Amino acid sequence: MAEQRRSLSFSRWWLIAGGALAMGMAGTFQFVWSSIRGPLGTQIGTTEATLGTLFTLVIAVQTVVQFPAGWVRDRYGPRIPTLAGALLMTGGYVGLSIASSPVTAGLAVVAGGGGAGAIYTVAVNTPVKWFDEYRGLATGIITMSYAVLSFGLIPLTRGSILGTFQRTLLFFAVLAALTCLLAAIILRDPQIDTTPSGTAEKTDPVTETKEYAWTDVIQTWQFWILYGAFVIVNGVGLMLIGKLIAFSDAMELSAGVATAAASIIAIADGSGVLIVGGLSDRLGSIRTVGSSLLLSAIGIAGAVVSGSSGIAPVFIICVAVAGFFRSPVFAIFPTLIGEYYGRKYSSENYATLYTAKLWGSLFAGSVASILITRVGWSISFLIGAILMGLAGLSVFTIRPVSNLKQS
């Protein structure tokens, strides 16, 4: 790794800066949606249900496209998927600006969501390729940027910065093209020697990690523990974030408390991925993520108890705790995949794990809604707390794959 560092003519942290910039732009396609959905619905003349379907399509495409993008990146470097992501995201914003029907809007969100997914997998795996130390911190910086840039742009979007809905989206198209093209120029992967016939090699002299392709990864029990935990983190976390206002209303808390809780969880979510992700470099990935999920579970349970009792300040604090300790998995799991399965195929391997978000989204939407209608808000969120706690406990059972005999 030291020789690979010297092959760069600049600091590795510039790679993180470039990845973070592109990641932030990718995040706009998800986080800015709440601001553009109303004008878009008016423009294409559609219903609330159709707009919801379009957003689901964004998430689904963003998740699915990460595997092919990661596969290409691991074999040909980051520039091809980054340039493809830039083209697709730019086209997505342009398409939305001129969409005249749900069908054309659907094509636009498929393009934009695909571009965002390609950028995401390239950016989040860059620290794994270049860092032995500070992996958690570097990945935390990139992951946090996924939401941070949007927080700065959303007020401008709601104010329609260039006068009209169409011009605002064209502004985002230009911004996507420029930021992602800059990232494509900066980003690169270290040169790794390959062995004949594609046999596994030991490229990390510190951990002596075998290089696993995704077909090998899914044969290890450690992967399925991580996968199950990731389904829960996405499912329960998205349920908390997406239904927090309604949950507060059900607890008969004031509108001000609901708004404060919704704002604080966004800040806590972004802070946790950076702070706790950075701490994992010192405390260890397994210990940090397992403890973090247990604390998130306590926060959710505390929100139920305090909300039911009408103790608003404690409710807000508990929501912040739940969000702060839920998010670090998005910084730690990419580094853990690289640590256990090697850095050569880290992009495709993490993309395989990331498909868990599809099932998590299904739980957060349809399953959670059905559960709430059957057993009520408090019990549903307590079930979520229990699941989050079980996810944390399951992580503690994981042992390094390199200590096992592989077939």
pLDDT at residue 405, as a whole number: 45
249's tokens: 């209303």
Give burial (CB, 10 Å; 0-12/13-18/19+) of 195.
exposed
pLDDT at residue 57, as a whole number: 86
In this structure, are residues 235 and 363 in contact, taking their beta carbons and an 8 Å threshold?
yes
Mean of pLDDT values over 279-304: 93
pLDDT at residue 10, as a whole number: 81
Does 162 score more than 50 pLDDT? no
Cα dihedral 261, 272, 292, 220 sign: positive
Does 63 score more than 80 pLDDT? yes
The string of DSSP codes covering 302-326 is HHHHHHHTT-HHHHHHHHHHHHHHH
pLDDT (tens digit, 9 = 90+) per residue, 233-279?
Answer: 998 988 887 788 788 888 888 888 887 887 788 788 878 888 998 88
Report d(CA 248, CA 133) in Å as an integer: 41
Cα dihedral 287, 293, 295, 297 sign: negative
Amino acid (one-letter) located at 353: L
How many CA atoms, within 13 angstroms, populate the side-chain half-sphere of residue 337?
Answer: 34
Which phi and psi angles does 315 have, rounded to 5°?
-60, -50
Ramachandran region, residue 77 (left: φ > 0; alpha: ψ -120 to 50; beta: rest): left
DSSP, collapsed to helix, strand or coil, labels residue 241 as helix
pLDDT at residue 199, as a whole number: 40
pLDDT at residue 134, as a whole number: 84
How many CA atoms, within 13 angstroms, populate the side-chain half-sphere of residue 243?
Answer: 27
Q: Please identify which residue in the block is written with the tokens 């210990």.
A: 287
Report d(CA 227, CA 46) in Å as an integer: 36
pLDDT at residue 197, as a whole number: 39
Residues 6+ apart with CB under 8 A from 118: 65, 66, 69, 81, 82, 84, 85, 88
Q: What secondary structure letter does DSSP report for 197?
A: G
66's tokens: 């990460």
Q: How does the average pLDDT of the chain come out, rounded?
A: 85
Does 201 score more than 80 pLDDT? no
Q: Alpha carbon of 32 to those of 97, 151, 197, 248, 249: distances in Å?
A: 14, 9, 46, 23, 24
302's tokens: 């505390």
pLDDT at residue 114, as a whole number: 95
Percent of the chain with pLDDT over 90: 44
Amino acid (one-letter) located at 340: Y
Mean of pLDDT values over 319-340: 90
Report d(CA 322, CA 306) in Å as an integer: 13
pLDDT at residue 46, as a whole number: 84
Least confident piece of the model among 138-152, 229-243, 289-303, 383-397 = 138-152
Which phi and psi angles does 366 have, rounded to 5°?
-65, -50
pLDDT at residue 295, as a whole number: 97
**pTM for the model:** 0.77
Does 136 score more than 90 pLDDT? no
- Better pLDDT: 323 or 404: 323
pLDDT at residue 173, as a whole number: 93
Q: Please identify which residue in the block is written with the tokens 């294409």.
A: 44
Does 104 score more than 90 pLDDT? yes
Helix runs in 251-284, H state only = 255-283
In this structure, are residues 345 and 212 in contact, taking their beta carbons and an 8 Å threshold?
yes
Band of pLDDT at residue 196, cut at 50, 70 and 90: very low
Report d(CA 169, CA 166) in Å as an integer: 5
Does 206 score more than 50 pLDDT? no
Residues 6+ apart with CB under 8 A from 60: 113, 358, 361
Ramachandran region, residue 45 (left: φ > 0; alpha: ψ -120 to 50; beta: rest): left
Among 163, 173, 138, smallest CA distance to 20 is for 138
In this structure, are residues 323 and 240 in contact, taking their beta carbons and an 8 Å threshold?
yes
Cα dihedral 157, 163, 167, 173 sign: negative
Among 194, 236, 163, smallest CA distance to 389 is for 236
Does 385 score more than 90 pLDDT? yes
What spatial distance separates the first Cα and last Cα of the chain, rounded to whole Å?
28
Residues 6+ apart with CB under 8 A from 381: 239, 240, 247, 300, 303, 304
Percent of the chain with pLDDT over 70: 89
pLDDT at residue 301, as a whole number: 96
The string of DSSP codes covering 135-168 is HHHHHHHHHHHHHHHHHHHHHHHHTTTTSSHHHH
- Better pLDDT: 64 or 156: 64
Does 209 score more than 60 pLDDT? no
pLDDT (tens digit, 9 = 90+) per residue, 19-61?
Answer: 999 998 998 887 777 677 778 888 898 887 788 788 778 888 9
pLDDT at residue 205, as a whole number: 36
Mean of pLDDT values over 115-132: 91
